Structures are given as C-alpha cells and as structure tokens.
Structure 1
C-alpha cells in the first residue's frame, strides 16, 4: 500500500516537473513596428535587440523564459503598419512596441483595445493620445505636451509675444502645435500664423511648396519661428529657409526634438551649417554609470552604422520596462494564454482569416502591471503618474554653435528653466519664481550675441497706418496742418519724440479720422484698429476699460481725470466776513455746548461754591458769563469740586482747538480771493436735475450715463471752448464735465469759470496699438525714457504751460467752511465728560441721602 502511494507521488512530481519545464522553455513573444530606413527606426532596432539580449542573458528576469522580439518594417506606410499588427496578433504576441508615428497610433490602439494587447511607443508622443480613450496605449518617453510647455516658457522668458509655427500636417506635429498655442495663451503670448506644410515633403516638387509657404512667413511681422516636424522633414525646411535668407541675423528659430535626433545620429556638416544659432530641445536623461557603459558599447552594437540618440536609450528602457512588467505579471500567478475573439469568430475568417486573431487573456492585468512598474533605466527613473504621464519630464535646452550642440540649460515641469540639472533641483524646495528662471547666453542666427527683438514691420511695402482724430476744438493737442496736411500738436510731438528713441525706423503715415465739423468719437477711432483700418491710433486718447479690452495701450504720457467746471462769483471781504469760517450749523452747535457746559459746571459747583450761589437771576447770569468767558480764558469764578475741574479742563481744550481753527480759517478768507459755486462738485451735480455739458466724442458721456446713472436726457454735447462758455453763461447747462487737460486749457482764457470740487476720476492718455503688438511695448519704454530725461516735460511746457491769463483762484466749497463733522470727536469727548460728571455727582448725592 505504501509502495503504491510513493509511486503515485512520484508520477505527480514528474508531471509537475514536465509542465514546469515546458512553461519555462516557452518564449514570450513581443512585436515591434518601425520604419527601419529612418534614423529612429535604425537606432531603435539596435537598442531593442541589445535590451533583449541583456534580458535573456539573465534567467532571473523571466524565470527561464526567453523574450522573443519580432520587428516589422512598416516602410513609412500606414497600411503596412496595420498589416504588421494583424500578423503579430496571429502569433500570440503579448505586447507591441510602436508604432513609430502618431499617425498610426489611434488605429493600432483600437486594435490593441479589442485584442487586449498593450502598445508601448517612445516616438508616438501626440498630446491627444489619452489613456481614457486608448487604455492599452503607453508612451514611454515624455509626452509632447511637456516639450510645448518648455517652448512656451522659453518664449515668455525672452519676452516675445508672438511666434509663427511651421509644421507638417500630420497628427503629432499638428496636435503638438495646438498644445503650444494653449500654453502660449496661458503666458499672454500667441501663435500669430501657422505655416502648414503637406504631411510628406520629401517627394520631388514639394520643395517649391515649402519655399512658397516660407515666403509668406518672411513677409510677416514675427521673427520667432517654431518648427515641429519629423526628423526626415526638418532639414528640408531649413534648406528652404537658407535659400530665402531666413537663417540670418534678426530671426529666432526653435526646433523641437527632431533636430538633436539627427545631429546625435548623423552629425553631417551641412545640417550643422544650416542650424547655426538655432535653439532646440532634447529629452533630458541623467548621467549614470549604466548609461556610460551602454554608450561605450554602442559602436559594437550598431557596428558603426549610426550614432546613438536619446530615443535609442528610450527604446532600450521600453523593452526593459515591458520585461519587468511581464516578470511581475508571472510572479502574481498569471499565465500567458490566448483565446478567440467571439466577435471576429462570428464574422468568419474570410480571405483575411480574421478568426485567427486571438485575445490576450491577461492583457488587462499586464496593463495594470505596467502602470505600477517602478524602475530606473538608462533614461532615469521610470514610472507613471495618475494621468499615465512619465514622472519628472525634463529637456535639455541646446544652442547649435559651430559643429557643437552647446547646452544652455534645462527645462523641467518641477523647476522650469534653469542652468542646474533637474535631478538636483528636485531635491530642493520648488521655486518657480521669475528670478529663478535662467539660461546661459545664446549665439543667435547670424552669429548675433544680442537677443533679437523677435519681430519686424511686415515687408509688404506699406507704412504703418496711424489714425489721428481730426479735432475741431482744443487743437493744441492734435490738429491738421492746413498747409502741409500733416499732423501736429502736443500729442504728435510726443509720439515723434518717442519714435526717435526706438532702435529701429518706424515708417508711418498719419490718417485723419473725423469729418472736421465736430470732434470724432474716440471709441470709434480705437475700434477701427481692430477692423484693420488702422495699425495704431495717436491722439489725446483716454485709457478706459472698454477700449483696453480690444487694443493695447502704451505707457501713459499724461494724466487726465474728469473734473466739473461751473460758473463762479468772487467772494470779496464784507462787514460780515467773520461769519464765514463756520457753517450756521457749526455756530449753533458751538453755542449750545457753551450753554451746556455752563449748566453742568453750575450743577457741580453751586452746592459747594459760593460764587455759583445767589438769586436765580444772578445764577443765570453767572452760568452764561462763565461759559462764554471760557472762550477767552477770562472766567473769574473758581471751580472747587473735582468733577467741575475735570469738565472745565476738557472744555478749555475743546475751546482752544475751535478758537485756533476759527482764526486760521478767518485769516484765509480775509487774505485769499475766493469763489462761490452754485454747484459744489460731482455729488451736488448728480443730485440736481439740471443739464450737464460734455465734450462731443469724449468718454465722459458714457461714464456719466453708465457709471453715475445720469440720464442721457440731461447730457448736452458741446464742441468747443466757446460753446462751453456760452452754455454756462446762458445757463443751458449747470456745469461741464471734461478731462483735466482740456479744462486747464479752457480756464486759461475764461476766468469767470473754475473747477468745482475735486477730480473725481483718475485717468490718463496713451497711444493705442493692435492687441499683442510688440511696438506698444517698445513705445512704452521710449515714453519712460522721455519722461526720465525731461523731454516730456519740455514738450508739455511748450504746448500747454504759461498760457493762463487769469490769476490763480481758489474755490470755496462746503468743505472749506468748518462744520460740526470736523470737531465731532472733540464734542463727543466733552459730552461724555459732562455725562460722566453728572452721573457721578447725582450718584453720590443719592448715596449720601440713603446713608443719612
């Protein structure tokens, strides 16, 4: 019996050993789809084969299994890529590395989704390939979204506002440029033009199309050009640009990772010659001993056929990532097995034999295992975040100088632009401040060391069209010369002086806007910039919110808040001038407090002090005399009670302040000429029902109506200073609301009017340009230089100062007379002191009454 049991166990053990030996000897099949005639195709083939050899040389990786790699050459053909994938699906493939191009990634991803076969690519880096839509697709190199973010941050770092995107019309390049546009917008920059080239520009005759598109680019304003394409097409674009002289001084070229791919693998002198001064990006891979060793044996692996580029490192790591995921997959007890797809079986095989395609039963588990894999490869740490992006994406920023790729810094999503390696910065606290963003100096195209300004005037032969208001009033600011038909005036002189300070010529022509019979609408003038009728507007143009939304303004060159102008009458000295310092209310309150304090002192003193006793008539006279004599500190009666002395001291302090204020105000009224208004300022103007004048074409009309809710029926347009004066004198309007510079000029000739109240808005004038126009920034800098040098003040003095024929006048408002509000604190303290003294006094009396 025991013998039979031992024999049975031996048979079971033999079966298990046989099964294990069979499983251990099975191959794990992996496919790869690449165009082997391309740089990345050839580099990837050598790198993947090296990775497979290294994995198979270590039995501990796959537990004795052999990793078998089958490479399919798609030969630039999408159709052949699909056929290769279908062939792989018939041969029990557990994963596919590829495709090389993002064009085929969505198609093959749908196939992978159906058959549960993971798809890993280190070159199809289209930002739109979402793991939600394609759950079996993995990008094993940094997504192009991060490369576009790096370019956007460089554009912002150098202060350029616009770029021109040049790209071939295939998925990865096109979607990358879309992502770049989004990232530029976040930094208040934009793509001003997209130069779209055919998907394949290699065939004969396509060069002419490239040249034609670059001719359009050359005629445009922006000189910052971003080229996003494949490595096979990039040199063709550079060759066309060199033919047109677009690789010279003044241009900025930024190339995506296609350029280092070429120069690392095939450092041809003609490519270096065309790429002089270009800035390019290359995925950053930290230095390590493994990387050095792999680089050292590359010539042996490739037999000197091609140089190693960064995508060769990613190809090697992708195979290792897949191998480690398969190891974890098998370690968890999963088996590599396949089953028929019911949907394809129902269709029937037909001539394509679709029924032979099988589903990888463990595909979903392998996908999860890949997501959870954490390893360090030749390219650095490799694992995925929650969005299935590789963690710590970073790039080398490279400047092509001579026959070298000179590194000028790094970019990473953690630290932005820096000259310190990203892996070092990640060990420090994050700092994305503008001061921390830094790159080394650049040698630009043409050998220039100075940063190009990034734009020029469009080379279409026309001058800058500048709209100028044709004013019929206040022509000192801007007007049309009757003889030369040119523009002149205060604003024009400032504009021309600023233009002279620019480091380049600005060919421009002034085009007058308006019919010459009345002042034009300045909002309409600014709107013409957005329609393309004008490139800019120069004049006495107020900077207001609704205009700021459609144009860019320069730095303000003068202040121009709104003020109220009203008729005045002079207040001369009279026999009753002493009443003026106080308002009637103030006189009444002061007199009342004199009486109240006298009564309080009497209450506190008359039981203890004989001077506050006597017949009622005498006591009343004593109260009045004592209180009013404190005005001159001439009271004769002594206070003996503590509470009375406390009240008296506080009251004498109040009297001192009131007396000093009255004296100062009366002195002002008697020595300075004053004016009296029926309108005291904007507040009384709003509450009145009288009509209000404004300058036709000014923003004052909209402000009064929309912001202050004054009905339009009360607003009366006026065209000239003469109309101002006539309307005010004849009472057709109660006041005129206009900007301060116009009012100052108006009052220099009309002395019977003055400014009532204070300036109730803060505004300024500036020159208007198209949105995102770089000229607006340069003009702002020039205006600041004018101001700092004193030239702006000299121009202002020439046109606007020393014109007044009227004596400087001072306006008297309600606020010039002293009111109870000015002394409410003092009166409050005095009142509290009186109340406390009385409460204390009566409290003591009641206490003594009950005690006795």
Structure 2
C-alpha cells in the first residue's frame, strides 16, 4: 500500500522500489533472511526486522555490507549503542518514554517504584534509562523484577508473591502483550489489582490493547498506560479504512482485524526510503566483492554496496509529514514525540491527558500554544485506579510479612527527660518507654493521614545497658535491624549519608559550658570602690564649700547654689549605685575559661556525653587527644566532674548540645555558663531508612505538630 500510494502521487519519479519479502519468525530466521538478501539478491536496503533481538545482528550485518537497515518496530535503546550509521529507527526509542513515566511518578508523590520487564533485548534495554530517570527525581528503585520470556504461570505467580511482601506498590511494566496479559491475569488472582496498587505500562502493551480480549481487559482495570500520540488526521483515518478493506479481502476468515501502531510507522518508513532512493544517483546496483578463500564463511564473503554511503546521507536529510507526524532522522533516530496517558476502565481505555517534552503533563493538548507547566502536579483528567477508586494510591504499604514497625530507642540513663526506658525486674524486658521524644512521636503518629502500627525496641544489651553509641543505633536502621529510630538523635551530615531524617522537632546546637569564677570583693571597704579617690576627695571638698556658703550667706544666690548641688548629688548617687551593683553582680558571671584553644594549650580535661557525636568533633575538629577527654552520662556526673576540676580527675569544660545543657543548667544555673564556640546543628529528628515512603508523611506531621498547640503542652 505504501509503495502504490507513493508512486501514485510521485508518478514522475525515475526510480521504483522492488520488494523482496522474507518472513523472519525468530532471530536465526531473520539473520538467515538478511544474509540471503544481501549476498544473493544484493538488496540496497532492508526494511525491518520486527524485534529488537533480530535487529541487533542485522545492524552489524548492514554496517559490514553498507546496506541501510530501517526498522519500524525495534524500540530497544541498546541498539543505539551500536552506533552504526546504517541503522535508522522509524519508530520511537523506548528511552523517549521514560521521562513521561517519571513525570507521572513524581506528580503523584510516589517515592519508590519497581520495574517489571521481560528478560530479553526488548525488556532490558529500557531499564538503565528508566532507573536513571527515577533516581533523577529522588525515586528509589528497591528491586527489579525480571520475568523470563518462557516463564510458566507458577513462575510468574512466585515473582508476584515476592512483590506482595514488599512495601512498594508502584509497578512499571515493560513487556509484550503476550506476556503482559498473563502477568495481569495472575496479579488479579493474587490480589494485586486491588485498592492501593499502581500499575503503569509502556507502549509495548498500550500500542496493542485493541487486540486483547474482554477477559484480559477485565484483569487490567485501573492500569495507566503511556502511548505514542499520533495526530488524528484525515490521511491517517483514510489509510486505516483502506487497510482494513484490503486486509478483509485478502483474509476473509479473520473478522474485526485492527491495524496496530506499527502499520503507520512501516508506511512512513517505506515513504522515507522511496524519497531517499530518488535523491541518489544510483547508476550501479552492484556490490564490491571481497576476496576470501574457498573455506570462508558467508559473512566473510559478503560484498559491499556501492550506493550505501549516498543512501544514508539521503535518508538523514529526508523530511516530510507522514501518517505518524513529522519524519526527520537525527543520528538515525526520530525525535521525541507526544505521549498519551490512558486509563483502562470498563471495556477499554480512556484518555486522561498527554505528556509533551515542553509542557509536561497536560489535560488537553494544544500544539499551537505550548507553555511550560509544572510537572509536579497531576494535571490529568479523572483516573479510576485499581480497586475502582478515584483516590490516588499513596504508593506503598507496610509489608504483609511485617505487622509492626520496629522502632529502636536509645537507652540513656542520665538525661531520661528525653527518653526513659523502664525495665521489668522479673522478665528483664522493657515495661514502658516514656519521655519528651516519645511524646512528640505519639503526637506525630496521631497527625498521620493513616494508621501506623509500631513497637519500641530498646537498643540495649541483655543486662539493660546501652548497646552502643548513637551512630551504632542509627546504623541499625541502615542494615535493616530497625525500621526507624525515635529518640534524641541529632541530624548530622555524615549520618544522612545512609539514613533519612524527618524535619527536626526541637532546635539544637553545640556549645561549650564552663564553671563561673566568683570575683566578688570580700573586704568591708568594697563600698569605696565605685568611685576613685580623686572623686571622693573632690566630693568632700564641695560638701564643705557648699556648707560654708549656705551657712555664711543667706540669700537667693545661696538657694540657687543648693539647687544645683542637689542635682549634682543626685547624678553622683545614681552613678555610685550602678557601679556598686556592677561590682557585686557582673564580676561573679565571669567564666573560668573563655576559649577552647586555652583548654588544648593548658592540657585541661574536657567532658562529653557518652555515645554522642561530640567526641568526633573534639577529636577531629579541635584536635583533642584521647587523654584530655572524659565521658559522662548524667547531669549529676557532670557536676561532680566540674567540682573535682581538671587537676583532680575532673573536667574544666564540657562540649555538649544545648537541649541537654538546658536540663543541666535548670539544676545548676548559678554555677555554670556557656562560652564560645557555638556550633549549629539541625536539631533532633526521627530516623528512617533511605527512601522510606513514610518520611514524606512524617515530615508533614512533624510540621503540623511543631506549629500547633500540642508542642507547647508536651514541653
């Protein structure tokens, strides 16, 4: 049809394409057919093959013989890596659709997704691009589900049950319909097409949905699909009608046949080749033979087409408006198209929007006026999700094999106001977990949009002692021992490399605290210190002089002098009072140490809270040796160390976080004060595994709690 249409409208062209069809049912058949056509028929170009696996060998064959290979159905991105100038893809590269898929994922706020793909060239080719696109928007790919092409129903069901035990509920399916329809039928059987699940399929299936039967469509209710969009032109509709009529004439026993998307692509590929051949002066259609021995293989005896270089240049410069849109090869590839977003509902599909490279997700397509829209909002029509619900799934669920979140809590006997673990003396298990951090967590769980079940597990040894540092506790989340950590855990940069923190629920910081030196004057003449001896003597002389004037002279002038003197005395009295107060109070607030370098230079001891990250700061940033550091566990122990002093086995200063020291100063406010350095930290936060879907919701809940009245009640 393509050739007859082309030459009917280009009757003046001096060239004609003669087809030499060969049926290639598999990879070996495609290779044998291509070898025969190039060696024996000496074809100038090959339109095909059908699959990406077949194309892999044929591209190398075309490159060796300089015969252009034009495929309208081989979509694997891995074919691009062959970098053959003789390969032209007259269809869309699978990598072009990953941006549309990732935009859908981020628009609905899903934080994890699992690709499910067939184990062959077609399936594996898209995965690196899809993974990179998802990771580029901070979406984790915790698992890749690979389905072998000849997989039995039992093998597919086994893989689905494995997915069922995971928390991720967003699945991206990339496989042909023959395998995909079986996958969805079995997914429905195991309960994975119910509410809460998200299924996104690529055009490997959406392009052929019209060929599936009603039972298959019934098992795919709620699925979202990404499909290449073709403008609905009169030429395309007319071609479909003519094709159906001709197909019915040639195949009278086949009823209701529908043209799939590869038909228009094959039509345009044929047009492109016919145009290119016309633009090349092809006077000689022979091949240059290579000299090989009689024992040489068929590959070694292949000739080289003399017209190949000119033909690929003509194909690269060919531009026209085809049935599928604008045809223009750039490095042998068509440009990124517009994609439809479709939703399986009822007996078929329903279009809910589009994705364009410039505008992202849009509900309606306006090719004449494209504007950049935010890709972070689901700008789509109503979607019916699996389970016949219109509420977007949150994209995850607590796994079926784990009923409660295992939440680790620190065991800190000293500052128990934050977290306190009470042990049962008989069973030696935790009877209760209380404290400020626990109360905040309770309030956050109440503010969550759904119920989360959990249990507290103290990070302790069998005898009830702490099992390690705070870094050790947080690492238990990284290695999967705990699902989260709740406690006085500080948000620190190096910890964020392997876990995720929520929004801080208490402000923090690090400062140095030292004892106060008592410099108050102990003698009885301290009242003379506010004024200098010169000022005392001058004041006494003026008292005598004013007294003499008042006593000897009784007049208005004497009264005026007395008024001025009273004003001077008032000022003098106020200055004296202020100076004396300063001597008796301010001098007693002087710290014993003012700079941390002074401690290092004088080799004085410094204390730090046992198990905290402060030890690393003292050793790494300030270069304190181990011999100058002493750990403590409680406010009382720190006070005892200060009382002893550095020379007697105690400490001269401590570096600690401000929340802890607020509790310390509440008991000993009159003996200690804060001095430089003062370091910023991000406060206390709850700990979750990297990429946990809980983090986003807990983040919002923490924000609601910290900005509400509940936080004041807890404090």
TM class by smaller structure: 0.7 to 0.9
Which residue of 499, 514, 520 corresponds with 1:551?
A: 499
- CA distance, structure 2, for counterparts of residue 445 and residue 697 of structure 1: 48
Q: Which runs of 4+ in 1 moved over 6 A?
A: 662-665, 670-673
Does the CA contact (< 8 Å) of 2:599 and 2:605 recur in 1?
A: no
- 2:527 equivalent in structure 1: 575
Three-state SS of the structure 1 residue aligned to 2:660 is: helix
Return closer, same or farther for 1:163/1:579 CA change in 2, 3 Å cut-off. farther
Q: After superposition, where does 1:184-223 map in structure 2 within 5 Å? A: 184-201=134-151, 206-223=152-169
Encode CA deviations 1:665-706: one digit per residue, 9 max, x unaligned: 859837977622112365655665422111111111112222
Q: Name the TM-score, length of structure 2 as normaliser.
A: 0.85
How far does residue 439 in structure 1 lie from its aligned partner after superposition?
A: 2.6
Q: After superposition, where does 1:282-297 map in structure 2 within 5 Å? A: 282-297=227-242
Encode CA deviations 1:360-404: one digit per residue, 9 max, x unaligned: 21112111211121111111111123x443224221111122234
Higher mean Cα deviation, 248-257 or 714-723?
714-723
Q: After superposition, where does 1:62-101 map in structure 2 within 5 Å? A: 62-63=13-14, 65-75=15-25, 77-89=26-38, 90-101=40-51
Encode CA deviations 1:746-772: one digit per residue, 9 max, x unaligned: 122224433323643233000111100
- 2:385 equivalent in structure 1: 444
Q: Structure 1: which 5+ runs fail to align?
A: 1-49, 581-632, 635-658, 797-852
Encode CA deviations 1:251-293: one digit per residue, 9 max, x unaligned: 00000113322223x2532232122111111112223332233
- CA distance, structure 1, for counterparts of residue 239 and residue 355 of structure 2: 25
- 2:440 equivalent in structure 1: 494
- 2:414 equivalent in structure 1: 473
- CA distance, structure 2, for counterparts of residue 523 and residue 353 of structure 1: 62
- 1:482 equivalent in structure 2: 423
How far does residue 248 in structure 1 lie from its aligned partner after superposition?
A: 0.9
- 1:669 equivalent in structure 2: 582
Does the CA contact (< 8 Å) of 2:110 and 2:395 recur in 1?
A: yes
- 2:315 equivalent in structure 1: 370
How far does residue 411 in structure 1 lie from its aligned partner after superposition?
A: 1.8
Which residue of 341, 363, 368 corresponds with 1:424?
A: 368
- 1:319 equivalent in structure 2: 270
- CA distance, structure 2, for counterparts of residue 311 and residue 69 of structure 1: 18
Which residue of 218, 243, 247 corresponds with 2:189?
A: 243
Task: Please say which structure displays the higher CA radius of gyration.
Answer: 1
How far does residue 250 in structure 1 lie from its aligned partner after superposition?
A: 0.3
Three-state SS of the structure 2 residue aligned to 1:441 is: coil
- CA distance, structure 2, for counterparts of residue 354 and residue 519 of structure 1: 70
- CA distance, structure 1, for counterparts of residue 366 and residue 80 of structure 2: 26
Three-state SS of the structure 1 residue aligned to 2:624 is: coil
Does the CA contact (< 8 Å) of 1:696 and 1:718 recur in 2?
A: yes
Aligned residue pairs total: 653
Does the CA contact (< 8 Å) of 1:394 and 1:422 recur in 2?
A: no
Q: After superposition, where does 1:292-311 map in structure 2 within 5 Å? A: 292-303=237-248, 305-311=256-262
How far does residue 437 in structure 1 lie from its aligned partner after superposition?
A: 7.1
- CA distance, structure 2, for counterparts of residue 68 and residue 663 of structure 1: 116
- 1:590 equivalent in structure 2: none
Return closer, same or farther for 1:155/1:577 CA change in 2, 3 Å cut-off. farther
- CA distance, structure 2, for counterparts of residue 667 and residue 311 of structure 1: 97
Return closer, same or farther for 1:180/1:131 CA change in 2, 3 Å cut-off. closer
Q: After superposition, where does 1:721-740 map in structure 2 within 5 Å? A: 721-731=635-645, 732-740=650-658
- 1:528 equivalent in structure 2: 476
- CA distance, structure 2, for counterparts of residue 382 and residue 348 of structure 1: 44
Return closer, same or farther for 1:56/1:737 CA change in 2, 3 Å cut-off. same
Return closer, same or farther for 1:504/1:227 CA change in 2, 3 Å cut-off. same
Question: Relative contact order (alpha carbons < 8 A, sep ≥ 6): 1 or 2 greater?
Answer: 2
Does the CA contact (< 8 Å) of 1:473 and 1:519 recur in 2?
A: no
Encode CA deviations 1:325-368: one digit per residue, 9 max, x unaligned: 11112xxx33351224315x435578x7985x543211121112
- 1:169 equivalent in structure 2: 119
- CA distance, structure 2, for counterparts of residue 210 and residue 224 of structure 1: 18
Q: After superposition, where does 1:85-124 map in structure 2 within 5 Å? A: 85-89=34-38, 90-124=40-74
- 2:621 equivalent in structure 1: 707
Which residue of 485, 494, 514 corresponds with 1:566?
A: 514
Three-state SS of the structure 2 residue aligned to 1:749 is: helix
Which residue of 128, 138, 151 corresponds with 1:178?
A: 128
1:754 equivalent to 2:687? Answer no
Return closer, same or farther for 1:263/1:433 CA change in 2, 3 Å cut-off. closer
Does the CA contact (< 8 Å) of 1:397 and 1:408 recur in 2?
A: yes
- CA distance, structure 2, for counterparts of residue 707 and residue 476 of structure 1: 29
Which residue of 663, 686, 689 corresponds with 1:745?
A: 663
- CA distance, structure 2, for counterparts of residue 442 and residue 460 of structure 1: 30
What CA RMSD, in Å, does the superposition of the two structures yield over aligned residues? 2.9
Return closer, same or farther for 1:360/1:123 CA change in 2, 3 Å cut-off. same
Return closer, same or farther for 1:790/1:571 CA change in 2, 3 Å cut-off. farther
Return closer, same or farther for 1:714/1:751 CA change in 2, 3 Å cut-off. same
How far does residue 577 in structure 1 lie from its aligned partner after superposition?
A: 6.5
- CA distance, structure 2, for counterparts of residue 470 and residue 781 of structure 1: 27
- 2:711 equivalent in structure 1: 792
Three-state SS of the structure 1 residue aligned to 2:259 is: coil
- CA distance, structure 1, for counterparts of residue 205 and residue 635 of structure 2: 66
Return closer, same or farther for 1:457/1:762 CA change in 2, 3 Å cut-off. same
Q: Name the TM-score, length of structure 1 as normaliser.
A: 0.72
Encode CA deviations 1:736-791: one digit per residue, 9 max, x unaligned: 11111111111222244333236432330001111000112221111112123321
Three-state SS of the structure 1 residue aligned to 2:184 is: helix
How far does residue 409 in structure 1 lie from its aligned partner after superposition?
A: 1.9
1:226 equivalent to 2:176? Answer no
Three-state SS of the structure 1 residue aligned to 2:439 is: helix
- CA distance, structure 2, for counterparts of residue 447 and residue 783 of structure 1: 32
Three-state SS of the structure 2 residue aligned to 1:556 is: coil
Return closer, same or farther for 1:320/1:579 CA change in 2, 3 Å cut-off. farther
Does the CA contact (< 8 Å) of 2:88 and 2:329 recur in 1?
A: no
Return closer, same or farther for 1:518/1:73 CA change in 2, 3 Å cut-off. closer
Encode CA deviations 1:551-586: one digit per residue, 9 max, x unaligned: 000111101211222111456685367489xxxxxx
- CA distance, structure 2, for counterparts of residue 679 and residue 514 of structure 1: 37
- 2:609 equivalent in structure 1: 695
Three-state SS of the structure 2 residue aligned to 1:505 is: coil
- CA distance, structure 1, for counterparts of residue 682 and residue 53 of structure 2: 55
1:58 equivalent to 2:9? Answer yes
- 2:293 equivalent in structure 1: 346
Three-state SS of the structure 2 residue aligned to 1:176 is: helix
- CA distance, structure 1, for counterparts of residue 381 and residue 714 of structure 2: 42
- 2:535 equivalent in structure 1: none
How far does residue 242 in structure 1 lie from its aligned partner after superposition?
A: 1.0
How far does residue 473 in structure 1 lie from its aligned partner after superposition?
A: 0.9
Return closer, same or farther for 1:569/1:166 CA change in 2, 3 Å cut-off. same
Return closer, same or farther for 1:675/1:82 CA change in 2, 3 Å cut-off. same
- CA distance, structure 2, for counterparts of residue 743 and residue 116 of structure 1: 78
Q: Structure 2: which 5+ runs fail to align?
A: 249-254, 425-429, 533-563, 566-571
